[in-house]
Chain A
């Protein structure tokens, strides 16, 4: 390379014609495609993203499993342990998709710090596409995580007991939830001052949120105030929905109805919660993005 190089010959840039609905979808897909492509180039990150939920499965199934009684079996019996694994897996699914938010937080804080968001913002692309594409890619990545997790579950004795169609609904609900929390994660990622903060800020709210739920223990044991919070925690309704859809133990003895509306209509409550959270956090995140700049 030197100043003696030839001139650039390509003719005038040829632009594509503008789609009827604008560029948002096109640009979002470009971002999603490259984000997914990039994540395949970091097998280490992918490995740890997959190994973490697997460790949780083994930990809960073999360490805590015996200590948490599930209605319907003699405490401490072999049937109880097997029942707990059936009960546990939807909880792990729920927890795992909730933690998808953290990846989004860190990813966006990094993109901000590296000046990539500045770069996007100086392009004549749709101003919301970078976020839509990013959240979309994050949700897609969860398909792989859920696959690995399902196989692990199968090995420790978890089963799909209520037909393939309901199982598909359960997985779709999990992906919707992953997509939803990713918007919250994106908002946090664009709000924190640097990636170091993003690493903790991305996780800190997820621990109470996932543990104050029915993901690992039935709600009956909780004090009343916490129980009400846990019942209206969308993770509880998500986990209960998937337990029902997979035909796994729900944590309620046969014939006993949950005492809260959110858990009597878990699928409906989950979908409504997702819509509300996206409705709040997507505009907030996009607004942050538009005024964001490298820090």
Chain B
């Protein structure tokens, strides 16, 4: 039943002029779960979140958030959600505390509650010392934390996080992951979009891979990895120019499925560590020096490559990019 899920979307279509940003997208986020929406730039992630957050109207299809129809009951939807976008949308001239107060007031919460909740969020997000400084003096990580804290002021049961860690340094990213995990532990439902596979792998129970506005795969991280098979062998060469020679030399092992990445060559293998020896021999025979050789489980990156034919962080050519679109019709 659509109304029981935190998010339930069916056949979402969104066109901007003659560009189809969403092409019949289905999405279910069960209550209390973290679903990661994974896709390259322009695949429709942000458009999906924007429709669910009532910022855009779908061209076709329907969506329910917390049981409310996003187009007909948008006010109820807005009461149920918190939204943190790709850009820390806090007022940079207001202090941390003032930002929280503003959002609390706009959620129509009592001043007493806003005060209590703000103090709690400030200390939880480690912003107490910076609470009375204008947000423009904050680091990128602090702004994101303030942004997230602002979304949490009314304790929404459903949180939309649109690329919450894009542009953050690794330490801030880890910090934010910790926060998100704690929120989930408290029962918040999270829909997370990301282009970082590691992030989806770490946070999401369930991963929905989309490309060109459609769901192309769906499952747990393990399910998805299993879909593309077993171990992969990764070879890094001393001389990267010999990549295609290496590919030819390793053809008996890899077959035709090997991939040349930026700095290495990888392909599916079977037979465990025996294959390492075979690969060393083959490359040595071809006179190619090896810098590094590793056998590993597939990552979501591999899943991504095999599903979409391109990497997660590739820029797909315009005009399918929903973010560069004006999206205002």
Contact = CB atoms under 8 A, between A and B. Distances in A.
A293 B56 contact: yes
A124 B79 contact: yes
Nearest to B127: A1
A10 B186 CA distance: 12
A294 B322 CA distance: 11
Contact of B155 (A12, A39, A124): A12
Contact of A10 (B117, B175, B179): B117
Interface stretch (A26-34, A176-184, A221-229): A26-34
B98 interface: yes
Contacts of A23: 108
B102 A42 contact: no
A21 interface: no
B327 interface: yes
Interface string B18-62: 000000000000000000000000000000001001111000000
Given A5-B182, A34-B91, A122 B53 contact: yes
Interface stretch (B2-10, B82-90, B225-233): B82-90
Interface stretch (B118-126, B215-223, B236-244): B118-126
Interface stretch (A111-119, A158-166, A203-211): A111-119
B87 A114 contact: yes
Given A8-B120, A115-B87, A118-B85, A34 B113 contact: no
A119 B94 CA distance: 15
A124 B106 CA distance: 7
A14 B120 contact: no
A193 interface: yes
Contacts of A26: 105, 108
Interface string B108-134: 111011001100110011100000001
B13 interface: no
B178 A291 contact: no
A14 B111 CA distance: 9
A37 B78 contact: no
B125 A38 contact: no
B245 to A, nearest CB: 46
Interface string A85-120: 000000000000000000000000000001110111
A13 B182 contact: no
B124 A5 contact: yes
A15 B110 contact: yes
B312 interface: no
B109 A293 contact: no
Contacts of B117: 10, 13
B94 A115 contact: no
B182 A37 contact: no
Contacts of A6: 124
Contacts of A114: 87, 89
Given A13-B117, A41-B93, A293-B328, A122 B124 contact: no
A244 to B, nearest CB: 40
Contacts of B283: none
B55 A122 contact: yes
Contacts of A18: 108
Contacts of A63: none
B105 A30 contact: yes
Nearest to B174: A2
Interface in A119-145: 119-125
5 contacts: A3-B179, A16-B110, A27-B106, A124-B108, A293-B326
Q: Shortest 4 CB-CB distances between A and B: which pairs? A: A3-B178, A38-B93, A1-B126, A115-B89
Given A115-B89, A123-B78, 16 more contacts: A1-B124, A1-B126, A3-B178, A3-B181, A7-B182, A8-B124, A8-B155, A10-B113, A16-B110, A27-B106, A37-B98, A38-B91, A119-B150, A121-B54, A125-B107, A292-B328
